[in-house]
Amino acid sequence: MGQRTRFAEMRAEQGRMTQSWKAEGRLSEAWVVADPEIVEIFSAGVSFGLEIGRRGNAAYTQDEWRKALREAVERAADLEVKLESARAGMSKKGKDQG
């Protein structure tokens, strides 16, 4: 697991982003997500719910949900690896220039 952001830092960043968004004329509130994998899992749940809703039958099996969650966790793990690689590359680039 990568480094986690503290909730206080997340809240402060959210405040800064919201002010920036307001200055740009945006009406929605900025949301800061500490862990991109949380977004991936949440979006998988939303996507799964929409897919089930399109069926016209809100019933689903536990296996269907487990499969959707497993796939989301796999995508989140892939994303996490890409982020770590990007961080390492940026860190190396900064050291090379400095």
Is pLDDT above 50 for 1? no
46-58: per-residue pLDDT in tens? 888 888 888 887 7
- The domain segmentation of the chain, as residue ranges, is 1-34, 35-98
Rounded to the nearest angstrom, the gap between the alpha carbon of residue 90 and the centroid of all alpha carbons in its chain is 20
Query: Would the pLDDT of 2 be above 50?
Result: no
Q: What is the DSSP string of 61-98?
A: -HHHHHHHHHHHHHHHHHHHHHHHHHHHHHHHHHHHH-
pLDDT > 60? residue 34: no
- pLDDT, tens digit (0-9, with 9 covering 90-100), for 39-93: 777 777 888 888 888 888 777 788 887 888 788 778 877 888 888 888 888 888 7
Look up the pTM and report it: 0.46
